[in-house]
Amino acid sequence: MTGGAGFIGANFVLDWLQGTDEPVLNLDKLTYAGNLENLASLEGDARHVFVQGDICDRALVEGLLRQYRPRAIVHFAAESHVDRSIHGPGEFIRTNVEGTFTLLEAARVYWSGLEGAERAAFRFHHVSTDEVYGSLAPGAAPFTESHPYEPNSPYSASKAASDHLVRAWHHTYGLPVLTSNCSNNYGPYHFPEKLIPLVIVNALSGKPLPIYGDGQQVRDWLYVGDHCAAIRRILEAGRLGETYNVGGWNEMTNLEIVHQVCALLDELRPRADGVPYARQMTFVADRPGHDRRYAIDARKIERELGWRPAETFASGIRKTVQWYLEHPDWVARVQSGAYRDWLQTHYAQR
């Protein structure tokens, strides 16, 4: 696995080892969003082997493949925050494009040297995003796997490029690849720069809850545990070279999300003064090129592989808010000085 100390990656490692004894080799660079504390429950567990390293380091990747001989690569590692990509796109090109290229080449060499059942069983699963498809008009049909790519941010453009590389390595070299494009994930261990954890953390700290523009941007929301289950199923039975869209069937505006989170906090951890958390909402200038709507049509994965999300948004968001309320020490430790400085720089002029 790459990026297994990040939000989705760490949840996948924990989910995988909860259901099987098959070991995981976890390669993560441990940038600001990579956090080994996410995996603290696995300390001393021989099934989890962690290596700190860069997916752009070809020699490292090839050495790990030779040493551990994995039956699959699940590629989570990515720079993933749109706002950060606007401020500094270079790192997104390096990690998401060059890093994926490096992994694909190392995987191709490794796979080419396998024989028999090992060669037949090998898979390269690339985890991507619905943002590669661009923005949907109100009322337009949700994204299907055949929707044209129209990325609008440096982040989504870099992920679109990586998707194309994965497809090309399958068609040119025969590398046995699988790709999944997911909608907005939420759940435990989510770094507090994204909407839901930012709202929870800021609300509890008495800080403003920043909402871009009019707050009417629409996203489909997927509980991270459901995403993990979908990846397991795709690895198990997905058709080689295919793309599967993974969504939660939960289209909601950002403003609706903030109101729901505030209502849960009012119920579970009311303010001492009795004032609703929604009073902390603040509308700020919209981000450049902000996509208006994403929506995932997840019928293909249900039809072919029998996967549907188990969580409704109501059940998933309650679990998420409760997790943050129960883990204040985790929140405090991930909010480093560098993170606070970045938030101040990003929102100060809005």
Residue 343 has what pLDDT?
Answer: 39
Give domain status of residue 197, yes or no: no
Residue 194 has what pLDDT?
Answer: 86
Give domain status of residue 264, yes or no: no
Work out whether strand 281-284 and strand 209-212 pair parallel, antiparallel, or are unpaired. parallel
Please check whether residue 242 is in contact with residue 178, taking contact to mean a CB–CB distance below 8 angstroms.
yes
Average of pLDDT values for 241-269? 97
pLDDT tens column, 188-231? 999 887 899 999 999 999 999 999 899 999 999 999 999 999 99
Is 32 an annotated catalytic residue?
A: no
pLDDT tens column, 43-99? 999 999 999 999 999 999 999 999 999 999 999 999 876 777 788 899 999 999 999
Domain count, the chain: 1
Residue 33 has what pLDDT?
Answer: 74
% of the chain residues with pLDDT over 70: 95
Domain limits at 167?
Answer: 7-189+223-250+289-311
Give domain status of residue 228, yes or no: yes
Give domain status of residue 335, yes or no: no
Give domain status of residue 296, yes or no: yes
- Rounded Cα gap, residues 23 and 49, in angstroms: 8
Catalytic residue among 28, 79, 131, 291: 131
Give domain status of residue 36, yes or no: yes
Average of pLDDT values for 8-28? 97
Give domain status of residue 261, yes or no: no
Is 131 an annotated catalytic residue?
A: yes
Instruction: Answer whether residue 180 shows pLDDT above 80.
Output: yes
- Three-state DSSP at 172 gives helix
Is 173 an annotated catalytic residue?
A: no
Helix runs in the chain, H state only: 7-19, 58-68, 82-87, 89-92, 99-112, 116-121, 154-173, 195-204, 224-237, 254-268, 299-305, 313-326, 328-334, 337-348
Work out whether strand 48-52 and strand 24-28 pair parallel, antiparallel, or are unpaired. parallel
Residue 349 has what pLDDT?
Answer: 52
Here the CATH number for the domain that contains residue 296 is: 3.40.50.720
Residue 84 has what pLDDT?
Answer: 79
Instruction: Answer whether residue 344 shows pLDDT above 70.
Output: no
What pTM, to 2 d.p., does this model score? Answer: 0.93
pLDDT tens column, 273-299? 999 999 999 999 877 777 899 999 999
Catalytic residue among 155, 189, 212, 223: 155
Give domain status of residue 67, yes or no: yes
| 163 class by beta-carbon count within 10 Å (0-12 exposed, 13-18 middle, 19+ buried) | buried
Of 217, 204, 202, the C-alpha closest to 343 is 202
- Rounded Cα gap, residues 293 and 219, in angstroms: 6
Catalytic residue among 28, 79, 83, 130: 130
